[in-house]
Amino acid sequence: MIEQISIRVPGQGLHAITDRVRAVVAASGLQEGLCTLYVRHTSASLLIQENYDDSARIDLENWLDRLVPENDPLYTHTLEGPDDMPAHIKSALTATQLSVPFQHGELLLGTWQGIYLWEHRHHPGSRTVVVHL
């Protein structure tokens, strides 16, 4: 089974999508298997990360921004703004697909794990995540 979910993002950052993915698994009626997620964009990525303390999310965002700064004079791909090439690099350094097993119709995430869409561009928009069960 394949379903595509559209995620509205207000801009750059980690955006929780665990509940949306859980809903797809629950609606499928499948009891066990593997849930594979794939983001259909070159300037966003997917991440499983702590979902309890927001400081972990903020620290990750700040660390990656420091690792891949905007306005680096080495960038030549700048037509869409100063966040464009850094967004492509961030996407290349992180994951564009994830797999999470499920059993009894439930994702087998750890207690403090959540699934995030990591938007690397500043502007708001919509991203598509493909869910394959």
Lowest mean pLDDT among 2-6, 31-35, 80-84: 80-84
CA atoms within 13 Å, Cβ hemisphere of 62: 6
CA–CA dist 58, 54 (Å, integer): 6
Please compute the mean of the pLDDT values over residues 18-31 and round it to a whole number.
98
Q: In the prediction, which pLDDT does 76 show?
A: 94
Q: In the prediction, which pLDDT does 131 show?
A: 98
Please compute the mean of the pLDDT values over residues 78-85 and round it to a whole number.
93
- Nearby residues of 98 by Cβ (< 8 Å), 6 or more positions away: 36, 37, 46, 47, 48, 115
pTM of the predicted model as reported, rounded to 2 decimal places = 0.94
Beta strands in the chain (DSSP E): 2-9, 13-16, 32-39, 44-50, 97-103, 106-107, 113-119, 125-132
Pairing outcome for strands 97-103 and 32-39 = antiparallel
Pairing outcome for strands 32-39 and 125-132 = antiparallel
Q: In the prediction, which pLDDT does 71 show?
A: 94
**What domains are there in the chain, each with its CATH number?**
2-132 (2.60.120.460)
Model confidence band, residue 84 (pLDDT cutoffs 50, 70, 90): very high
Q: Quick one: which of 124, 88, 113, 107 has its CA closest to 21?
A: 107
pLDDT tens, position by position, 92-130: 999 999 999 999 999 999 999 999 999 999 999 999 999
131, 17 Cβ separation under 8 angstroms = no
Model confidence band, residue 39 (pLDDT cutoffs 50, 70, 90): very high
